[in-house]
Amino acid sequence: MSQNSLQYLVRKPKSELSKAPLLLLLHGYGSNEKDLFSFASELPDELLIVSAQAPLSLGFDSYAWYTIHFDQNADKFSDIPEAKRSLALIDTFIEEIKENYSVDENKIFLLGFSQGAILSSAYALNHPDKTPYILALSGYLNTELIDDNLDTEKIKKLDFFVSHGTVDQVIPVDWARKTPDILTSLKVPNIFKEYPVGHGVAPQNFYDLKTWIEKRI
């Protein structure tokens, strides 16, 4: 792996396929690559599952894709240059995974939680040829990370699963509700689901996303 690679965990497909569908997992702020990887044993055997660790260490085995600053009013704002560097790093990492493993490039799933969801959504819109399927959990669409010159035809081939908790105290559900509106206005196929939970993945949410993946493998 090159010097710029992200650290990661991998679960190889349990069934023999010449080229495997890839599921890339991007964790949230303050977490690590082990978090979402706990889903792996419950997901389809055909998948090559890769869970990446974000590049910025916060100490105590917690990491971030970019810094979140707090001002005197406790309003959050994102370090956009750092986020864009992480987007470039994710792009490099996906290419490395394709070089190192036998991947079906038509069936690449990008699943992000919270900060990982924000980056997953932006990455897919900016690179519609690379990750056809996106699962954005407990995040929102940060338009500051979206390229100005989107390929309006290619993004119509993307497919989004978006979900959020109705009592999320970290990222307000109102922020998430804008995502399907923006995607629909861009003619990007999407499904949006809400669950009566906070900043996390409810059992029903996991069941729904698993079913969504199974139908697309």
Q: How many other CB atoms are found less than 10 A from the CB of residue 148? A: 4
Whole-structure pTM value: 0.94
Residue 15 placed within a domain: yes
**b/e code 74-109 from CB counts within 10 Å (16+ = b):** eeeebbeebbbebbebbeebbebbeeeeebbeebbb
Residue 3 placed within a domain: no
Average confidence (pLDDT) over 163-168: 97
15 — pLDDT class (breaks 50, 70, 90): confident
Residue 44 placed within a domain: yes
Residue 176 placed within a domain: yes
- Lowest average pLDDT, out of 13-17, 61-65, 78-82, goes to 13-17
- Could you give the number of structural domains in the chain? 1
Q: Residue 130: which of 102, 163, 92, 165 has the closest Cα?
A: 92
Q: What is the DSSP letter of 31?
A: B
33: containing domain: 8-214
Average confidence (pLDDT) over 89-98: 96
Q: For residue range 43-71, list pLDDT tens digits in order.
A: 999 999 999 999 999 999 999 999 988 66
Residue 106 placed within a domain: yes
What DSSP string describes 50-94? EEEPPSEEEETTEEESS-EEE-TT--EEE-HHHHHHHHHHHHHHH
- CATH number of the domain within which 15 lies: 3.40.50.1820
3-state secondary structure of 13: coil
- The Cα 165–Cα 138 span in angstroms is 7
